[in-house]
A and B are shown apart, each in its own frame.
Chain A
Amino acid sequence: MVTLELNQPGKTVLMMGNEAIARGAIEAGVDFCAAYPGTPSTEIPESLARVAERFNIYVEWSTNEIVALEAATAASLAGLRALVAMKQNGMNVCSDFLMTINLSGTNGGLVLMACDDPSAISSSNEQDSRSYARYADLPLLEPADFQEAKDMTRWAFEISEKLGLPCIVRSVTRLSHSRGNVKLGELTEKKRTAKFEGVYISGAFVAAQHAALHQKLEQVREDFESSKFNFYVGPKKAKCVIVTCGSGWLYSREAVAALGLEGRVGILKIGTTWPLPEKFIVEHLKNVTEILMVEEVDPFLEQNIKVLLAERAKTLGPIEVYGAKSGHRPPYGEMNQDKVAKALASIKGLKTKARDGKYVEKAKELLLSYIPIRMPTFCTGCPHRASMWAIKAALKLDGRDGFVTGDIGCYSLGAGPAGYFQLKTIQCMGAGIGMATGFGKLDKFGFNQPVIAVCGDSTFYHAAIPALINARVNNSNVLMVVLDNGGTAMTGFQPHPGSGCDACGRPAPTVEIENICKAIGVEVRVRDPFEISQAIHDIYELLQGEGTRVMIFRRRCFRIEAKEKLQQKYFVDQSKCIGDDCGCARFCSRVFNCPGIIWDAEAQKAKIDEMVCTGCGVCATLCPGGAIMVRGAAS
């Protein structure tokens, strides 16, 4: 991205929130970045990787988030400035390290980007990671717009260095993945050299360490009291104030304007969400009788404000707090301007701007009964479609009511129609094989259903290995199917230890999945899932076995293949298409369900949708009539 490296301080550019964060880190002179891909954080390390050489930054895709945090902390201990970025689940993965490094402290600025995904648009859970700041006694910043994303990230390094603690900056999908105006700042010249000295042992004299930690927090609270990221807008003596942070700021501002309440309702915007700038807040609530809390997702700020209000009850007098607890906003899911406007209107006894009634009714009717639902599916050409079909067929052939435990990745869509509803469980990274190793030991309780644990390649390196060892050592009856498509695909095909290149595109050694399996001592087979008949056979055969077995379905993500190489174009020879008749019954479009093949209602035959098909050719091998051909090939 050209804008990222621009040396034009003061110029306004369009930036994604994540790019702005990366730019903030660059302006702070970041040296080291480690991360594991995770929506909505992925573009942060990706952006830094693109300019790594220019700014002399080391950028790494680590095997998982805790390793990423540990590696980055090493850089910090050596006096460098380091950045780690992750999605909410990554916070859970690195929490053990977080809960120790807070005690033993850091050196060079260490910034931890926690990117939450309210409404779980691309996640297997909804979680508000801000609680980690309170839990670990660490400073927390929450940018409210794109400019703050850049400026706060930059400031976070200073905070971290001053305290000798990691500083958490929390973003959400609507900030990280949205784009907006950012005025560029100045680039720094870096002069740091890495050197390690000192001792960092957490738990040594923990009382002293813990007390020191608390003291650091009080120290930074003082700085937060005067931070420009905390501000108030609105009438001087407003009785009603919205207290908000993060993404809530823009929603609140618009809601107040939409209701015409700029003269009556103020907005207290907090940027330094933990520890609370208590004096600042109390100062602005002196005349207030009611506040509306607007934030995503948990009532984190709300509850902390309530504690503050309780502590200062004598000074402030009674203040009504509306928010999640009072039911004025839902305590789950993402916020938007409509939800804030609705809450504010109900508090003020107003009506929100009504929509055209007839219009809304017509539209509702359309959505309910007319517009077909569009479920997400595997991309055309995706090897997972073939793998799921092979697993489905094999389980049906086996006939013992076997089932599949799932994991995190593109193949998670296998829980839906894309994967013929094969996946029956999905939790976190590695949970598929983790749970399967338990299922595989239930035979003494009469359990006789075969269990398949599906796991991606990146997931394998990230989290699956300990569970696989567990399965092997306990002789658990489980078939693990590793879907190896060559990269971390769901987040944009980042390299992993099997890919052979690093975050900056340079060649890197590989650690082969089958070698790890062999070292663990389990039977392992490798197969291209596009060889569907043999794939079905392999799975079936493995299902008849006992103990821990591994099948690797290996084929490169087709989205990448299609981008790199011009693919063949396929078409349906409708004279050969069996279509609705016995022998086919629209197998390709209806059952295999690749969106690249549609039904030509006029001809009553199948047809390749050239706008969607990417030319993988699997349907041609499956067509019972041999009707799908390559254009231009000799018949």
Chain B
Amino acid sequence: MTLEKDPLNLIIAGVGGQGNILASQIVATAGIKEGLYVTVGETYGASQRGGPVMSHVRFSAQAQCGPLIPEGEADIIVGLEPIEALRIIGDYGNPKTRVIVSPRPIYPIWVLSGQAKYPPVEEVMQKLRELVGEVRVVKAIEEGETALAANVVMVGALAGSGMVPIEMKHFEDSIKEIVSPKDLDTNLRAFRKGVGLTRGKARTPAKARKRR
């Protein structure tokens, strides 16, 4: 198959511990099932302990890509956390980059200790919109809900958005392959919930701004 852009570059950005590795693994495995070359480059190690983390997922119909997306070449950014989306978009984004982002902040320890400030989330979304054309705010977790598999909800949102040319079935098959049987039900539900949040929905910035 051909891609409208080759390679198609996706970054999943979040906070260490949010599960961006599982998210990228699902997306990448789905890409292999689609018959593409897929390369995933990941941050491991100390950053996993609550530091910023990113997974670069690169799809190509032609050849294996390197594991790191060049500066400014990210086509899609999935932000599991608002300022992590903003942090990534600087180095790797461009005005055409499309963003799917969860508005739920996770506060860095220097914000908690008073050495740094966490800007209001609406403002962060605004800054994102000043940089790129498309920002979709996806509420992966409702207030008061347990945050189970929020990362997989975001994968579902990505799948539902149609931004990556991968069949829904391939996503679900990947989840079935990767996730342990006892967690399968939770993750499939999370995925489908995410799909429902973006599928068939046009970008509605006004609505997104209303969300807290």
Interface residues of A (CB under 8 A from B): 2, 12-14, 39-40, 117, 121-123, 145-147, 173-175, 177-181, 247, 250-251, 253-254, 258, 336-338, 341, 355-356, 359-360, 362-364, 366-367, 370-379, 410, 412-413, 417-418, 490, 586, 589-591, 593, 595, 597-599, 609-612
User: Which of B25, B51, B68, B113 has the most chain A CB atoms inside 10 A of its CB?
Assistant: B68
In the bound complex, CA of A319 to CA of B46 (Å): 42
Question: In the assembled complex, which residues on chain A have CB atoms less than 8 Å from the CB atom of B42?
Answer: 177-179
Question: Is the pair A609, B95 in contact by a Cβ cutoff of 8 Å?
Answer: no
Q: Which of B38, B113, B118, B127 contacts A179 (CB 8 A)?
A: B38
Report the nearest A residue to B24, measured CB to CB: A179
Question: Is the pair B117, A372 in contact by a Cβ cutoff of 8 Å?
Answer: yes
Known contacts A180-B37, A371-B87, A379-B17: does B112 contact A599 (CB below 8 Å)? yes
B residues 40-54 in Cβ contact with A at 8 Å: 40-52
Report the nearest B residue to A173, measured CB to CB: B44
Interface-located stretch among B59-67, B152-160, B195-203: B59-67
Question: In the assembled complex, which residues on chain A have CB atoms less than 8 Å from the CB atom of B108?
Answer: 372-375, 595
Known contacts A40-B44, A595-B112, A609-B107: does B70 contact A341 (CB below 8 Å)? yes
Report the nearest B residue to A174, measured CB to CB: B67
Question: Is the pair B113, A363 in contact by a Cβ cutoff of 8 Å?
Answer: no
B124-135 interface code vs A (CB 8 A; 1 in, 0 out): 000100110000
Report the nearest A residue to B144, measured CB to CB: A610
Question: In the assembled complex, which residues on chain A have CB atoms less than 8 Å from the CB atom of B141?
Answer: 611
Question: In the assembled complex, which residues on chain A have CB atoms less than 8 Å from the CB atom of B104?
Answer: 611
In the bound complex, CA of A374 to CA of B54 (Å): 13
Question: Is the pair B39, A595 in contact by a Cβ cutoff of 8 Å?
Answer: no
Q: Other CB < 8 Å A-B pairs besides A373-B116, A610-B146, 19 of them?
A: A121-B44, A180-B37, A336-B68, A355-B71, A355-B94, A356-B94, A363-B90, A363-B93, A366-B90, A373-B108, A374-B83, A375-B51, A375-B109, A376-B16, A376-B51, A379-B50, A413-B46, A413-B49, A611-B104
Known contacts A179-B39, A181-B64: does B83 contact A372 (CB below 8 Å)? yes
Instruction: Tell me if B91 counts as interface (CB < 8 A to partner A).
Output: yes
Question: In the assembled complex, which residues on chain A have CB atoms less than 8 Å from the CB atom of B31?
Answer: 14
> What are 14 A-B contacts defined by CB distance under 8 Å?
A122-B44, A359-B95, A366-B86, A366-B90, A372-B83, A375-B108, A376-B16, A376-B48, A410-B49, A417-B109, A593-B112, A595-B50, A610-B147, A611-B147
Report the nearest A residue to B108, measured CB to CB: A374
In the bound complex, CA of A410 to CA of B16 (Å): 14
Question: In the assembled complex, which residues on chain A have CB atoms less than 8 Å from the CB atom of B15?
Answer: 374
A40 to chain B, nearest CB (A): 7
Known contacts A181-B37, A372-B108: does B113 contact A591 (CB below 8 Å)? yes
Question: Is the pair A609, B46 in contact by a Cβ cutoff of 8 Å?
Answer: no
Instruction: Tell me if B32 counts as interface (CB < 8 A to partner A).
Output: yes
A554 to chain B, nearest CB (A): 21
In the bound complex, CA of A122 to CA of B52 (Å): 14
Instruction: Tell me if B72 counts as interface (CB < 8 A to partner A).
Output: yes
Question: Is the pair A418, B94 in contact by a Cβ cutoff of 8 Å?
Answer: no
Instruction: Tell me if B177 counts as interface (CB < 8 A to partner A).
Output: yes
Question: Is the pair B112, A597 in contact by a Cβ cutoff of 8 Å?
Answer: yes
Question: In the assembled complex, which residues on chain B have CB atoms less than 8 Å from the CB atom of A173?
Answer: 44
A540 to chain B, nearest CB (A): 25
Question: In the assembled complex, which residues on chain A have CB atoms less than 8 Å from the CB atom of B117?
Answer: 372
User: Which of B46, B113, B177 has the most chain A CB atoms inside 10 A of its CB?
Assistant: B46
Known contacts A372-B116, A372-B118: does B106 contact A611 (CB below 8 Å)? yes
Question: Is the pair A181, B38 in contact by a Cβ cutoff of 8 Å?
Answer: yes
Instruction: Tell me if B20 counts as interface (CB < 8 A to partner A).
Output: no
Question: In the assembled complex, which residues on chain A have CB atoms less than 8 Å from the CB atom of B44?
Answer: 39-40, 121-122, 173, 177
Question: In the assembled complex, which residues on chain B have CB atoms less than 8 Å from the CB atom of A359?
Answer: 72, 93-95, 131
Q: Which of B17, B66, B112 contacts A250 (CB 8 A)?
A: B66
Question: Is the pair B39, A372 in contact by a Cβ cutoff of 8 Å?
Answer: no
Known contacts A145-B64, A181-B32: does B41 contact A374 (CB below 8 Å)? no
Report the nearest B residue to A3, measured CB to CB: B177
In the bound complex, CA of A485 to CA of B130 (Å): 46
Question: Is the pair B45, A372 in contact by a Cβ cutoff of 8 Å?
Answer: no
Question: Is the pair B83, A595 in contact by a Cβ cutoff of 8 Å?
Answer: no
Instruction: Tell me if B11 counts as interface (CB < 8 A to partner A).
Output: no
Question: In the assembled complex, which residues on chain B have CB atoms less than 8 Å from the CB atom of A595?
Answer: 50, 106-109, 112
Question: Is the pair B110, A372 in contact by a Cβ cutoff of 8 Å?
Answer: yes
A577 to chain B, nearest CB (A): 15
Question: Is the pair B70, A336 in contact by a Cβ cutoff of 8 Å?
Answer: yes
Question: In the assembled complex, which residues on chain B have CB atoms less than 8 Å from the CB atom of A12?
Answer: 32
B2-32 interface code vs A (CB 8 A; 1 in, 0 out): 0000000000000111000000110011011
In the bound complex, CA of A177 to CA of B114 (Å): 35
Question: Is the pair A2, B177 in contact by a Cβ cutoff of 8 Å?
Answer: yes
B95 to chain A, nearest CB (A): 6
5 tightest A-B contacts by CB? A122-B45, A363-B90, A250-B66, A376-B51, A372-B116
B212 to chain A, nearest CB (A): 11
Question: In the assembled complex, which residues on chain A have CB atoms less than 8 Å from the CB atom of B16?
Answer: 376
Report the nearest B residue to A122, measured CB to CB: B45
Question: Is the pair A371, B83 in contact by a Cβ cutoff of 8 Å?
Answer: yes
Question: Is the pair B64, A146 in contact by a Cβ cutoff of 8 Å?
Answer: yes
A245 to chain B, nearest CB (A): 14
Q: Which of A40, A145, A174, A258 contacts B70 (CB 8 A)?
A: A258
Question: Is the pair A376, B47 in contact by a Cβ cutoff of 8 Å?
Answer: yes
Q: Which of A174, A355, A367 contacts B72 (CB 8 A)?
A: A355
Question: Is the pair A179, B70 in contact by a Cβ cutoff of 8 Å?
Answer: no
